[in-house]
Structure 1
Amino acid sequence: MKYSPITTSHFDKQFSRLTKKNAVFKEQAAKKIKGIVLNPEIGMPKTHKLRGLRSLHITDHFVVVYMIFKDLVIFVEIDHHDNAYRAVEGVMQRLVDDEKLLATLQRMGITNEEFVHFIRAIGLSGH
């Protein structure tokens, strides 16, 4: 299956902040992101309140957090390992409030209701 990447507004801000002055890290992150899009199963599946998410280390200390939805890879977080997992708590609300993400999904024929149902079904509540 061929997957298409989508980023959240939060991911875009974090990526920009982390890579603005660090070309080496930007290249490392881009390489890992491309690898994830080619094979989303390479990341480690998360459990408990992060169930439904996957993560992959970019470097020893930085990770990218994402989810697979249909034929999409939705990039949710990129940050230092410790910060990334704290930041994804409450991710459901952030995802369903992300106008950029929802607009992109709608352009792909996915309704907001369908996406919210998926988020609830995997239990990504952050509680």
Structure 2
Amino acid sequence: MTPYRPALSKKLKAKMEKIYRKDRQLYDALMKKISEILNDPHHYKPLKHDLKGFYRVHIEKSFVMIFSVEENSNIVKFIDLDHHDEIYRRK
């Protein structure tokens, strides 16, 4: 299997910097999950309707990260991370 490379949205980068400063445990869980996703991005749940083409993964129960996979360039684009109640509301 060809390894995937990560690409982070500006929005997600800013959130990750804030999480790094305020909640190191959540940050570590997030980095571990990103590594797992890069090894097998299709293992995670594909979304439907308005979010078709995206996948989601839970981080520490309450948080959800949304990402997409670009097969032709082997890139996983990490789009956003937020509390479960908020992430789907905005999309």
TM-score (norm 2): 0.89
User: How far, CA to CA, are the matches of 2:30 and 2:63 in structure 1?
Assistant: 9
Count of equivalent residues: 88
Secondary structure of 2:61's partner?
Answer: coil
Report matched runs for 1:1-127 at 5 Å. Answer: 1-70=2-71, 71-87=74-90, 89=91
Structure 1 segments unaligned to the other structure (5+ residues): 90-127
Report the identity percentage. Answer: 27
Shift of 1:6: 0.3
Runs of 4+ in 1 over 3 A off after TM superposition: none
- Is the CA contact 1:42–1:56 (under 8 Å) kept in the aligned structure 2? no
The structure number with the bigger radius of gyration is 1
CA-based RMSD of the aligned residues comes to 1.1
Higher relative contact order structure (alpha carbons within 8 Å, sequence separation ≥ 6) = 2
Secondary structure of 2:33's partner?
Answer: helix
Instruction: For residues 54-88 of structure 1, give each alpha carbon's deviation from its aligned partner in whole angstroms, at most 9, with x where no partner exists.
Output: 0000111011110001211000001111112223x
Select the structure that is richer in strand.
2
TM-score (norm 1): 0.65
